[in-house]
């Protein structure tokens, strides 16, 4: 990918499962040479963590190992450490998501890595971060979703908190990690700093992205609790309603003016122009009535019919899609958001965002062979065939069985 905006960036991915691999995948979409390191004989647990595609390869592995070169390396062994050092000396970014202390106990603390390569950006992802009283605690994505406040505000007021239907903490941490890596790499390139550590606790990206709950509590003095299909402390009308045909429609507004468009579509101009709907405070005071009437309106129509009426009033409404709806949608197709590679039935979500001159690209999906690129990568590092054979014999490196 010669024209990829990150084609001059080499990334070492030491991480496993979701958060670190997501970071690596996002960088790889735009041309970064991501070398994913797995333990010989084991591989990343992500390979077996999800449903298998028709060819037997894990569906999650296919998308999160996309565009990556695979090196099977025992980096804790003496010989493997020497290989890792050569990789670090020729890399720009290293990503890891082990519990704090794992790299240090292996003799690979940031100080060591920066001694090998002073400009290396080290992205460290962990449950609670590298500092603080819980730094050594184990932590997975669901703990992050709980600690960030996401689970607390998701669900109905009279029922249990809920986790979202995807690994939100892991995925957003991968996204934030890629963002942090690019900022730190830019600092290296503009001379404002040499290599540094990007330290991410898995609860922090969601904490930042939810954003409003902290100032709502501290500034307005209000609690922020789950409120079913309404946003907590909502001032603008919104909701998810079941249509006559059994499908679900979501509607929303972001101001008094856009709120009145919803009301006019559902209840006529006379209702929308009542004095209490001239301000968001008035909407908030009458939210129960609004939600009830919006729900009744949607229930009288098929989902698409209701959406068409809202659209005719320039109000925002959309079908709640399942995965088959996503795959069939012409807008998503026109944007090129679902992509694949020749010879493989598995489709994945394409690179985001769209760059008009140096767009991202899916070059290949995650492959089944452990250490598929071990020999090629070692040759690039200066190892000859005999040296590679010895590393393989010692178990420091693994290659596919052919």
Cα separations in angstroms, 265 against 240, 243, 268, 275, 309: 16, 15, 6, 17, 6
Does the bond joining 123 to the residue before it have cis omega, within 30 degrees of 0? Answer: no
307: which 2 tokens?
């959406």
Q: Give the span between the Cα atoms of 117 and 102, in whole angstroms.
A: 20
* 162 burial via Cβ count (<10 Å: 0-12, 13-18, 19+): middle
Exposure string over 119-140, b if 16+ CB within 10 A, otherwise e: bbbbbbbbbbbeeeebbeeebe
> Residue 308: which residues within 8 A CB-CB, separation 6 or more?
none
Give the SS3 label for residue 48: helix
- CB-CB neighbours of 115 under 10 Å: 12
User: Could you say which of 33, 44, 74, 170 is catalytic?
Assistant: 170
> Residue 360: which residues within 8 A CB-CB, separation 6 or more?
4, 29, 30, 31, 350, 351, 352
Q: CA dihedral in degrees (216, 222, 224, 227; nearest 10)?
A: -120
215: which 2 tokens?
């100032």
Q: Maximum CA pair distance of the chain?
A: 85
> In the annotation, is 170 catalytic?
yes
Which ranges in 300-350 belong to alpha helices (H)? 303-312, 323-328, 330-334
Which ranges in 99-246 belong to alpha helices (H)? 102-105, 110-116, 141-148, 168-189, 204-210, 213-219
200: which 2 tokens?
């991410």
> Residue 149: which residues within 8 A CB-CB, separation 6 or more?
206, 207, 210, 213, 224
Q: Kindly list the catalytic residues.
A: 170
């Amino acid at each position: 990918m010669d024209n990829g905006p990150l084609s001059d960036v080499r990334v070492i991915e030491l991480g496993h499962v979701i958060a670190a691999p997501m970071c690596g995948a996002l960088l790889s979409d735009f041309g970064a040479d991501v070398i994913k390191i797995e333990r010989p004989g084991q591989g990343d647990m992500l390979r077996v963590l999800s449903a298998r595609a028709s060819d037997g390869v894990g569906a999650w592995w296919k998308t999160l190992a996309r565009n990556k070169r695979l090196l099977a390396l025992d980096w804790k062994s003496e010989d493997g450490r020497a290989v890792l050092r050569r990789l670090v000396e020729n890399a720009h970014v290293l990503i890891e998501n082990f519990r704090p202390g794992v790299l240090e106990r292996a003799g690979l603390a940031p100080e060591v890595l920066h001694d090998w390569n002073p400009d290396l950006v080290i992205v460290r992802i962990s449950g609670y971060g590298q500092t603080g009283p819980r730094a050594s605690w184990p932590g997975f994505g669901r703990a992050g979703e709980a600690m960030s406040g996401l689970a607390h505000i998701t669900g109905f007021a009279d029922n249990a908190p809920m986790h979202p239907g995807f690994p939100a903490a892991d995925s957003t941490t991968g996204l934030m990690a890629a963002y942090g890596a690019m900022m730190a790499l830019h600092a290296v390139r503009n001379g404002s700093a040499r290599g540094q550590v990007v330290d991410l606790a898995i609860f922090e990206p969601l904490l930042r992205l939810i954003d409003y709950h902290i100032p709502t509590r501290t500034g307005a003095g209000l609690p922020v609790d789950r409120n079913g299909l309404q946003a907590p402390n909502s001032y603008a009308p919104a909701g998810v309603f079941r249509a006559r045909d059994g499908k679900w429609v979501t509607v929303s507004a972001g101001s008094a003016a856009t709120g009145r468009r919803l009301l006019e579509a559902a209840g006529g101009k006379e209702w929308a122009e009542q004095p209490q709907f001239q301000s968001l405070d008035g909407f908030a005071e009458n939210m129960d009535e609004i939600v009830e009437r919006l729900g009744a309106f949607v229930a009288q129509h098929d989902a698409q019919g209701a959406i068409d009426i809202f659209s005719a009033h320039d109000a925002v409404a959309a079908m709640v899609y399942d995965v088959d709806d996503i795959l069939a949608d012409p807008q998503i197709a026109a944007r090129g958001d679902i992509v694949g590679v020749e010879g493989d039935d598995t489709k994945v979500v394409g690179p985001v965002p769209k760059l008009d001159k140096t767009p991202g690209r899916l070059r290949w999906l995650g492959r089944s062979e452990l250490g598929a690129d071990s020999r090629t990568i070692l040759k690039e590092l200066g190892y000859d065939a005999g040296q590679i054979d010895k590393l393989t014999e010692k178990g420091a490196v693994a290659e596919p069985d052919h």
